[in-house]
Structure 1
Amino acid sequence: MTRLTRYTRTTAFKLSLLYLGVFTVLSAGLLYYVARNTDHLMSEQVVQTVDAELKGLSDIYVRGGVRAVVETIDRRSRHPDASLYLLTDFAGNALVGNIARLPTMVLEEADGGLRRVRYTRMGPDVEDIERQAMVRTFELRGGYRLLVGRDLGDQLRFSNLLGNALRVWLIGVVVMGVMTWVFVSRRVMKRIDEMSATSRTIMNGDLSGRLTVRGNDDEFDRLAVNLNAMLGRIELLMQSMRDVTDNIAHDLKTPLTRLQTRVETALREAKGEDGYREALESVLDDGDHLLRIFNALLRIARIESMAPGADMEPSDLKALVLEIADLYEPLLEDEGGHFEIDVSDGLKTVCNKDLISQALVNLIENALKYGHPENGSLIVSLSAKSDGGRIVLSVSDNGPGIPEAEQDRVKDRFVRLDDSRTEPGTGLGLSLVKAVARLHGGELRFKNEAPGLTASIDLEQAPGQDGSDHERHDGSDKTGIPTA
């Protein structure tokens, strides 16, 4: 009973009941309309047939008298069809016809009106049962009365057939409606129960739970796909929050401990103003390092919490890339390196220019810090090209690269490979680039070039831009750099 009550309270049951009621009423109305009009049409045909018979017999009577009418009626009465005839004299005695019994009032009221009567048919092969007919009665000269009619048996059988069809149809509609409701309710309730179970799993702390996608692309599949994407985003944000918490607990413990140690050492060992000043400067350096970490974390958190499309505007990436190249080319040349630029025309997109600039700066800074080759000078390449409707921004170097097994891990917060721990940094630069790429619907990718490493992010290109024209600058002549 509880399960039945649960089903009857569902929207599927209410909708099925509504559809069943509407469809039943429409079906009944349609069949009633067909039956009514069919009966009316058959009645008109009966009237037309009776009138035609009367007219024909009247003409025969005028031309040949009673004898000719008797012969005609006798000949027609022998055919087993639906036509009815009866001719009586002035005393009411039957002269000819195929009607055995008939209410006397029908012959007495020979006014030519159309009547529905009950009668018994005459004939050796006819059952002695009452039938229904439509008749007209006329009085002829000499006191004769002529009755012509049409048996309604076929019409009544057709009406009964339609009535039975209506009943069978309504029963079938009800049965099919109930079966449809049971099927739909079970299917809908099963999907809803699956969603409820997944929701309970997620509420219990398992964020990896996902809704089932059956692959038939119905409304439940589309809802499941969207909810799964939302759950994936929530899981990623929660995992990021846990990672940040864990990373802060581990990675900030060392600088905080070092800061505390320096203060204690200064209080215990420092002598004079110079000693305390040196200790305070060391403490300020550690504090600045901590502030940089917190600022980077906050910026990454803000980027990851931004909605796609937020604070974005149409931009020309060629001008942006060349502007960054102008800033870093002199710096690299001062260090004895070489800066190359490969930029296509028509790189129009909708983006957050500040964040894209920051991502490129981070990638270039990483190349400057960790991309130095063992022999020779550093070569950094900045590329912006169109590829399959996407704009790919790449920064390459000719250094040792990153092992493939570590390429996904270095995108996480505070991750620094062993070879890079001697360089200053927070381990958050690539995490910020990854967040910027994801905000713009792209991804941060690494590719070892042997030698060197290429780090790239991709953005959606504005429609109608092909980026087919290229301009290249190898850093040998700064005046040759195209300007916006």
Structure 2
Amino acid sequence: MLLAKTLRSSTFRLALIAIAVFGLIVAAIMAYVYFGTLAYVRSRVGDAGDHGDFTAMIGLAMFAVAMLLAMLAGLAAVLVTRRTVGRIEEINATSRAIMLSGLDRRIPLRGSHDEWDRVAENLNLMLDRIETLMGEVKQVSDNVAHDLRTPLTRMRGRLEKAYHTPRDSEADAALIGDTIADLDAVLGMFASITRISEIETRARKGAFRRLNLVEVAGEVVELYDAAAEEVATRLSISGDREVSVTGDRDLLFDAIANLVDNAIKHGRAGGQVTVTCRSAGGGADIAIADDGPGIAAAQRDHVFKRFTRLEQSRYTPGNGLGLSLVAAVARLHGAEITLHDNAPGLTVRLSFPTS
């Protein structure tokens, strides 16, 4: 692979051109020396006293050739090195500018489409990714601060009120219960963030094994059957009886559970939620469909970001991390997650690759 890239590189092509030019020059000089020497010998046949002049002429010619080759090789080395160092200096200058002013600078491209342009393109893509991640970190920090402010303010208000009022066992018990609930919500938020980070670091691939996706989905349906009955929603599973995937059973359970929970919460009261598992082209698909209001097409790219909550879900329990966890699990398993209209409602599909 490295040899093939070397043979395709523009620097290698320049070196070949330089060597070819040098070779032509050397061949011309040697031809001149050869034919000149041949003419000299023919004109001096029989004159033994001229052999010293002949030897001196050959020596001078060879010395001239050596000096010319050294000069040309040095010139070629300078030209090739200057081109390489020039591109490196462009990268270094841009790197220094980025360190001083921020991530909005990019390495300039020359349009030559050589390996240096490809390096610059890859570095620019890396900078784009870093800028995106830094923006997401800032967004997460802002959202954490915003989401923590409400429960912490409520807890402080309750404690302050209790501090300034006489003790009442029933009121104190209610205050303690409400405070514990708020603390549980805060701790749950941090637990979700930690779990997503753990998944994104790909630290759990050691638990991957072959499993039947239908069994995992069936356990989720059984777990949420009571929650669905409370809102008169029919929860069912359909599709193939066996769908094999390679993955982490616990993470897949959590991802499917989050999708089913969302479908029940945001689906139509008295409606239906269907979980469908199928084998597809050597891979596997699982789809969770509801008949609720769905998600507008313009918002579908944003719902998998952390703490994103749509307007219609502002007054339902949650912290906007469920779909972020689903997306992290999908990335870990190399699966594609897509959203489709269910007319009415929404279908969330996880498509696993051939394993």
Q: Same fold (TM over 0.5)?
A: yes
Counting matched residue pairs gives: 326
Cα offset for 1:172?
A: 5.2
Q: Would you say the 8 A contact 1:270–1:276 is kept in 2?
A: no
Q: Is 1:313 equivalent to 2:192 in the alignment?
A: no
Q: Quick one: which of 249, 254, 259 aligns to 2:150?
A: 254
Counterpart check, 1:396 vs 2:299: no
Q: Does 1:263 align with 2:170?
A: no
Shift of 1:277: 1.1
Tell me the distance in 2 between the aligned counterparts of 1:168 and 1:395. Answer: 82
Letter in 2 for 1:397: D
Question: CA separation of 1:365/1:346 partners in 2, compared to 1, >3 Å: closer, same or farther?
Answer: closer
CA distance 1:346–1:445, shift in 2 (3 Å): closer
Alpha carbons 1:308, 1:439 under 8 Å: kept:
no
Write the deviation string for residues 411-442 of structure 1: whole angstroms up to 9, x where unpaired.
22222222112211111111222222333445
Amino acid at match of 2:102: D
Whole-Å separation in 1 of the counterparts to 2:60 and 2:229: 99
Question: Match of 1:136?
Answer: none
Structure 1 window deviating more from structure 2 (331-340 vs 399-408): it is 331-340
- What is the alpha-carbon distance in structure 2 between the residues aligned to residue 229 and residue 435 of structure 1? 21
Change in CA separation of 1:193 and 1:365 when aligned onto 2, cut-off 3 Å: same
> Residues 227, 302 of structure 1: CA spacing in aligned structure 2 closer, same or farther, 3 A cutoff?
farther
C-alpha displacement of 1:234:
3.8
**Mapping of residues 267-286 of structure 1, within 5 Å:** 267-268=163-164, 272-286=168-182
- State the distance in 1 between where 2:121 and 2:248 align: 28
1:341 is the counterpart of 2:232: no
Equivalent in the alignment of 1:295:
191
Distance 1:264 1:316, change over 3 A: same
Q: Specify whether residues 456 and 269 from structure 1 end up closer, same or farther in structure 2 by C-alpha distance, changes over 3 A only.
A: farther
Answering whether residue 318 of structure 2 is matched by residue 425 of structure 1, we say: yes
Aligned amino acid, residue 83 of structure 2: R
Match of 2:280 in 1: 386
The residue number in structure 2 matching 1:108 is none
Whole-angstrom distance in 1 between the partners of 2:106 and 2:352 = 28
* Equivalent residue letter for 2:238: I
83, 93, 96: which is aligned to 1:200? 96
CA distance in 1, matches of 2:233, 2:204: 41
CA distance in 1, matches of 2:250, 2:110: 42
Matching residue's letter, 1:456:
R
SS for the counterpart of 2:315 is: coil
Give, in whole Å, the separation in 1 of the partners of 2:250 and 2:186. 24
The amino acid across from 2:342 in the alignment is: E
Q: Is 1:408 the counterpart of 2:301 in the alignment?
A: yes
Structure 1 counterpart SS, 2:140: helix
Instruction: Find the counterpart in structure 2 of residue 245 from structure 1.
Output: 141
Structure-2 separation of matches of 1:163 and 1:384: 85
Deviations 1:382-436 (A, max 9, x none): 334435x764443222211111222223222222222112211111111222222
Question: 2:274·2:288 contact (CA, 8 Å) conserved in 1?
Answer: yes
Structure with the larger strand share: 1
Q: What secondary structure is seen at the aligned counterpart in 2 of 1:202?
A: helix
2:339–2:348 CA contact under 8 A, matched in 1: yes
Deviations 1:296-319 (A, max 9, x none): 122222233x14884352333534
Name structure 2 gaps, 5 residues minimum: 1-11
Alignment RMSD: 4.2
Residue type at the aligned position of 2:236: F
Letter in 2 for 1:438: R
Aligned to 2:5: none
Q: State the AA in 1 paired with 2:271.
A: S
Change (3 A) 1:282 1:453: same
Task: Name the amino acid aligned to 1:383.
Answer: C
Query: 1:343 and 1:226 mapped to 2: Cα distance?
Result: 43
Q: Give the % identical residues.
A: 34
In the TM superposition, what whole-angstrom CA distance separates every residue of 1:352-382 from its partner, at most 9, and x where no partner exists?
3332322221111111111226xx5223233
1-structure distance, mates of 2:51, 2:292: 109
Deviation at 1:219, TM superposition (A): 4.7
Task: For 2:77, give the aligned amino acid.
Answer: W
Other-structure match for 1:448: 341
Under a length normalisation based on structure 1, what TM-score does the superposition of the two structures give?
Answer: 0.56
Alignment of 1:12-411 (within 5 A): 117-118=48-49, 164=61, 166=62, 169-170=65-66, 173-204=69-100, 206-211=102-107, 219-221=115-117, 223-224=119-120, 227-228=123-124, 230-268=126-164, 272-304=168-200, 306-307=201-202, 310-311=205-206, 313-318=208-213, 319-328=215-224, 332=228, 335-343=232-240, 347-349=244-246, 351-372=247-268, 377-386=271-280, 391-411=284-304
Q: Please give the secondary structure, in 1, of the residue aligned with 2:206.
A: coil
Secondary structure class of the residue paired with 1:204? helix
SS of the equivalent of 2:102 reads coil
The normalised TM-score by structure 2 is 0.73
Q: 1:309 to 1:291 in 2, by over 3 A?
A: closer
Give the letter for the 2:95 counterpart.
S
C-alpha distance in 1, partners of 2:333/2:111? 28
Query: Shift of the alpha carbon at 1:320?
Result: 3.4
Shift of 1:228: 4.7
CA distance change for structure 1 residues 419 and 83 in 2, over 3 Å: closer, same or farther? closer
Change (3 A) 1:211 1:362: farther
For residues 336 and 108 of structure 2, what CA distance do their matches in structure 1 show? 27
Q: What amino acid maps onto 1:283 in structure 2?
A: T
Per-residue deviation at 1:195? 1.7
Q: Please list every run of 5 or more consecutive structure 1 residues that lacks an aligned counterpart in the other structure.
A: 1-15, 47-79, 85-101, 103-116, 119-130, 134-152, 463-484
Q: How far apart, CA to CA, are the structure 1 residues paired with 2:115 and 2:51?
A: 58
Deviation for aligned residue 1:274: 0.9
